Amino acid sequence: MSLTGLSRPTTGAGAALPVSLQGVGRTFATPTGARTVLADVELDLRAGEIVALIGPSGCGKSTLLRQVSRLDNPDRGAILVGGTSAGGVDPRCAVAFQEPRLLPWRTLRQNVALGLPAGTAKAAGAARVDALLHLVGLEASAGLRPRQVSGGMAQRAALARALARDPGVLLLDEPFGALDALTRLKMQDLLLEVHAAEPTTVLLVTHDVEEALYLADRVVLLGTPTAHDPRSVRRVIEVPGDRPRDRASGSLAELRAELLEGLGVDTHHTRRTSTDPHARTDQHEPTAAPAGPHDTALAGSAPRLPHATRSTLDSEISR
Ligand SMILES: Nc1ncnc2c1ncn2[C@@H]1O[C@H](COP(=O)(O)OP(=O)(O)O)[C@@H](O)[C@H]1O
Ligand SMILES: [Mg+2]
């Protein structure tokens, strides 16, 4: 995968755009009455920032992404992208989901080309698609159809398709959630490479605390609005350290514990120090995953999530 040779298209939004959510709220009518999913969301994303959204299942993470892209509209408040409010679905935003949603009868190259803005000149569009296929490491597989490639490759094609329109804001809804653990780690690094090559503002929904802390400048913890806690945004955490970060760093372990506590997960196991013989969690780790460079990065002495805690998290924060 290379970051060179990327030619910018003559169409598209161009540079990263700031996003401002001002008192955003969304209430749905349900058979059992009105249900407020988002309340009083105040959040500003700087141009080019990566912000992770994390929170329990059903707390409104996907709904919030839909508000920013204007696939759905807020009942209350305002959303400004690049300082202006979109009248309809915002062409400056691109979305990628947990499922790649590729057209099965088209090649990867054709699927990526579907993301080009309408009216893109043929030669410029072809050059853009080639550059993106190269960026996500799919140039040799461009002629294959989705069923002929792995889940990780399909997801890379979906990412390239989202980037094809040169979005000012990239909205990612649990984009790596369906991938195996090792592919997921590789995709996280790919996202950082893509972000360096194609600087765009990224709002990433994830249920993986470690992923959020590895990728994001800030992590926003969302919760379901209640009478006691009426605002959706519960906490905003600045993540220290330049990317790529050391996944095993002690400061991230502290933030991980803080986020898990915010999610209502008992984290007392993560508080053990590395001198505590019971702190070793390797024996609880799944052994099926093949060893790779990421495993080495993860195998430091900093506390890791015990398997039991991960299981709790997976069930409590399931998709
Ligand atoms: N169009 C809709 N009509 C009614 N309820 C909806 C609609 N969209 C989402 N919801 C409800 O809003 C809640 C939050 O959904 P969602 O944003 O998908 O949660 P999350 O992504 O955090 O898991 C869920 O209870 C969901 O059923
Ligand atoms: Mg969701």
* Complete DSSP assignment for 64-123: HHHHHHTSS--SEEEEEETTB--SSS-TTEEEE-SS----TTS-HHHHHHTTSPTT--HH
Length of the chain: 319
Q: Which bound ligand lies closest to the C-alpha atom of 172? A: 2
**204 strand-pairing partners:** 52, 172
pLDDT bucket at 74, cuts 50 / 70 / 90: very high
From its phi and psi, is residue 56 left (phi > 0), alpha (psi between -120 and 50) or beta? Answer: beta
Distance 36 CA to ligand 1 centre (A): 10
Per-residue pLDDT of 182-234, as tens digits, reads 999 999 999 999 999 999 999 999 999 999 999 999 999 999 999 999 999 99
Query: Could you tell me the two tokens for 66?
Result: 């839909």
CA 41–ligand 1 middle distance (angstroms):
16
For residue 14, the model assigns a pLDDT of 61
Task: Take atom 9 of ligand 1 and give the residue whose Cα is closest.
Answer: 63
- The predicted model gives 285-294 an average pLDDT of 36
Q: How far apart (Å, rounded) are the C-alpha atoms in residues 186 and 215?
A: 12
Mutate to test the pocket of ligand 1, among 30, 62, 69 (most ligand atoms within 8 A of CB): 62
Find out whether the beta carbon of 186 lies less than 6 Å from any atom of ligand 1: no
Residue of the nearest CA to atom 1 in ligand 1?
28
Ligand 1 atom nearest residue 56's Cα: 22
Q: Which tokens is 175 given?
A: 């984009």
State the pTM of this model.
0.82
What does the alpha-carbon distance between residue 316 and residue 310 come to, in Å, rounded to a whole number? 10
Q: Smallest Cα–Cα separation from 46: which of 224, 165, 203?
A: 203
